[in-house]
Chain A
Amino acid sequence: MESIILQIAARHLRPLLIVLSLVVLYRGHNEPGGGFIGGLMFGAAYILYAMAFGVAKTQESTFFNPINLTALGLLIAVVSGLPALLLGDSFMTGAWYTFFKQTAFELKLGTPLIFDVGVYFAVAGMLMLVMFSIMEE
């Protein structure tokens, strides 16, 4: 199916969706959102692209392989549990650090965010893996 409207829309929507997925990922700890939803959006961006241009062309345009992305996500998720061990806490204990204290840019980041990034990659990779394998046939 070649649709010029879908192709142009997909070309412009893909970067937008990726940025949006990052926003959703970041706000996820305290507000609706998170790694899973973000990952789904990230995957959906590429699936939309694949619907417009075909799977082969999409895979050429990506610098990663879906299954490697999944593995990377799992790795990041496990690694996020390790800082707690260095601090002498139990595995997976959240460690937080506030950047730019007392300024307008106060930024509170912690290991749960790293875990969420892992989930984000794992979900996105898995979704793309499954969808691409169905769409290819």
Chain B
Amino acid sequence: MSNNVSLYILLAPMLLSLVGLLPSRWANRNPALTGNLCHRAAVAALLVSILAAVLRQMLPDQAFSGRALELPFGATVFSIDVFYNSVTMMLMMLVSFVGMVVSRYSIRYLQGDPNQGRFFKWLSLTLASILSLIASGNLIMFMTAWVATSLCLHQLLMFYDNRPTAVLAAHKKFVASRIGDVCLIAAIVLIGSSLHTFEFSQIFHAMAARGDELPIALKLASFLVVLSAALKSAQFPLHGWLIQVIEAPTPVSALLHAGIVNAGAFLVIRMSPILSRSPAALGLLAAIGLATLALASLVMLTQTSIKVSLAWSTVAQMGFMLLECGLGLYSLAMLHLVAHSLYKAHAFLASGSGVDFFRAPQIAYSPSGFRPGRLLLSLGISAMMTSSIGHVFGLTPGQQPALLATSAIVAIAVSQLLLQAANMDRTPSFLLRALGISFLACTAYFALHDMFARLLQDSALPVHSTGAFQYAMAALVVIFFLFLLVLQHIFRNAKGRAWEATYVHLYNGLYVDVYITRMLQKFWPVPQTIQA
């Protein structure tokens, strides 16, 4: 039974890779057919994932995580098997859903492009690789799918290989990915040699049973995993490629931002049995995440083109997601991963609609500038709202500092909403509506968090100890968000040299990417004359 069910899940990537096996030339001659095949394979993958989720309700987890298919050669080294838990279930559905939407979109969007067939071929292969990555039951298969995803995506990023900027961005991504690969391979070797297994299920059990301090090899491995995740999720300072790969067609951006860039958090959650025992590695992850989100969320506000703003927004969101991972809040990170994917896929696909906001009636409103009293009032209201709704869902003051910090972030967000509303219209009927929306958003947040916490109960090993570091980190996060809130309101009317300098440095993303581009151009030059 278990073998059959596991095999059945692998149907999803297998169908897609069948489409990917079509030769490019044939595909280009039959773009409509290839597109339809790709779309149908993605729909089938979604159905498979949904059915698997339904089956799981009827069968215990263990039934899914057995070895499904051994290769005749070197069975102990490489096997194809499935590790199925809530994380697998949700991500399979997410990626096949996004794949379905993106493939459907590309049928019309790229119509007439001489390479449309080839596009669908690589789209199918990319989707197949991600689905295999998600389903992987062991580290070797995971690693293979990890690299395959990156290489297939590379083909999509190079879709317009006559554009120097596209090639440059793809090169940048390629370099970052290969560094990440090296880190991951080293981590896997260390884990395999320490725990004598590559199977996720066995790693999970082995670590759950261990009580002692981690051996140095696993400690090292956990740092390597953190680095690899940070590289995959475009964290500072190697974030530049994510900004620039909008040189590929819009659906590629949608897929990348919704289904690939978040693999960093997926890696961390899969490796949580080891990482949860390595507070230093998690601390590093949290620090990278916080630094990235701090920078990127500010840069995002200065950007002037819609896709570049969206890309910076993703960098920031990935930072936040990894921060949550680093704080041991795996269920929140998972919630963030899924919700962000859906939001960002839509944002990219709908990015052509930006002009409509400027065509809509521009209404008169009287912004009242920064009022400290109003800020405090809105913070007070939102804190009360958040804590009472949180209380209904079981949040108590004595809980993990990290959890309290994230609740504080929600409160700050709600007060931003209220402040914005008060800035637009100060009639009671309007403010009441804004309060109503805040209440709904707040409730949705805690309800979803509660749901994800239940779902992920058995999918990730929690962090045991809460040290001083966690308290410090949580405090830092809250302070930073308060700072953001105030900043947004005072910089509307800010003057002076310091503000000018801040603006210029932020607008240019702190120049990191200019330097990296220059270095890359030195070692891996892109011919400038290929543009037709």
Q: Do A and B bind each other?
A: no
